[in-house]
Amino acid sequence: MTTSGEKKVRSFIAILVPSEGIEALEQVVKILDQEIGRHVRWVRPEGIHVTLRFMGDIPVATVEQLLEALPPVAAGFSPFELAISGLGAFPNLRRPRVLWAGLDGELTALSELQLAVDEAVGKLGLPREQRAFSPHLTLGRVRSDVAEGQLRKIGEVMSSIEIPSIPGWPADTVSLMRTELDPAGSRHYLVGPAPIGGK
């Protein structure tokens, strides 16, 4: 039972994108920004990641439990290949709200890892993820006051931009992260890594 005065940490578990991928996505966002930037709040480039599990504000004690629970989970998998592929939006391109880059590669291994991470989080008493896992890299969120016609325009722009060919990368670490919110957007900090395949 947590008391109201207990310190909480805004936390999530992710696979981070290497600098080459971040730089390529930065170029894509620059192009998108010229067309639709006034309607979108972009994610900081260094904050782009594959979310395995978002926990929100959790007690410091739970963060410490996660630091112990994640390494054996990650050690049970082998590193696998991921690549960035295509652009899209949730819930769809006709009414875009969240703009993303897609993922390609060994997505079955990624999904199995996400399930194992979600189970480990559930064993610590946190609620299980209700939505189906849909691997993606969030690039930006459409502002809430955007009119219907502009939403369609955003969807058209997203479907017309080609992502440059970016080499895949080996996903070899599960990262426990914390978030600090500031007026310019979220900043993410590494709390602890869990090597995929162990050390």
Enumerate residues 6+ apart whose C-beta is below 8 A from 169.
Answer: 17, 18, 20, 21, 81, 82, 83
Q: What is the mean pLDDT of residues 155-176?
A: 92
Pairing verdict, β 80-90 and 8-16 = unpaired
Sequence letter at residue 122? G
Rounded-to-integer distance, Cα 7 and Cα 116, Å: 27
Give a yes or no: residue 3 inside a domain.
Answer: no
Q: For residue 105, name the pLDDT band (cuts at 50, 70, 90).
A: very high
Residue closest to 43 by CA, chosen among 185, 188, 190: 185
Rounded-to-integer distance, Cα 155 and Cα 160, Å: 9
Give a yes or no: residue 106 inside a domain.
Answer: yes
Give a yes or no: residue 105 inside a domain.
Answer: yes
Lowest-pLDDT range of 59-73, 118-132, 135-149, 180-194: 180-194
Handedness of CA 83, 86, 110, 99 (dihedral sign): positive
Domain with residue 94: its CATH number is: 3.90.1140.10
Q: Is 188 a catalytic residue?
A: no
Give a yes or no: residue 120 inside a domain.
Answer: yes
Instruction: Provide the domain limits for residue 114.
Output: 8-195
Give a yes or no: residue 72 inside a domain.
Answer: yes
Q: Active-site residue among 39, 49, 53, 188?
A: 49
Is residue 181 pLDDT above 90, yes or no? no
Enumerate residues 6+ apart whose C-beta is below 8 A from 133.
Answer: 111, 114, 115
pLDDT score of 2: 44
Handedness of CA 154, 156, 158, 160 (dihedral sign): negative
Give a yes or no: residue 2 inside a domain.
Answer: no
Rounded-to-integer distance, Cα 17 and Cα 20, Å: 8
Residue closest to 83 by CA, chosen among 164, 2, 1, 26: 164
pLDDT score of 1: 44
3-state helix, strand, coil in the chain (%, to 5): 35, 35, 30
pLDDT score of 7: 87
Is residue 5 pLDDT above 70, yes or no? no
Give a yes or no: residue 89 inside a domain.
Answer: yes
Q: What is the mean pLDDT of residues 171-197?
A: 91
Give a yes or no: residue 128 inside a domain.
Answer: yes
Tally of structural domains, the chain: 1
Query: Is the pTM value of this prediction over 0.75?
Result: yes
Enumerate residues 6+ apart whose C-beta is below 8 A from 118.
Answer: 52, 53, 128, 129
Rounded-to-integer distance, Cα 147 and Cα 133, Å: 29
Q: Active-site residue among 39, 53, 136, 188?
A: 136
Instruction: Indicate the average pLDDT of the chain.
Output: 93
**184 DSSP assignment:** T
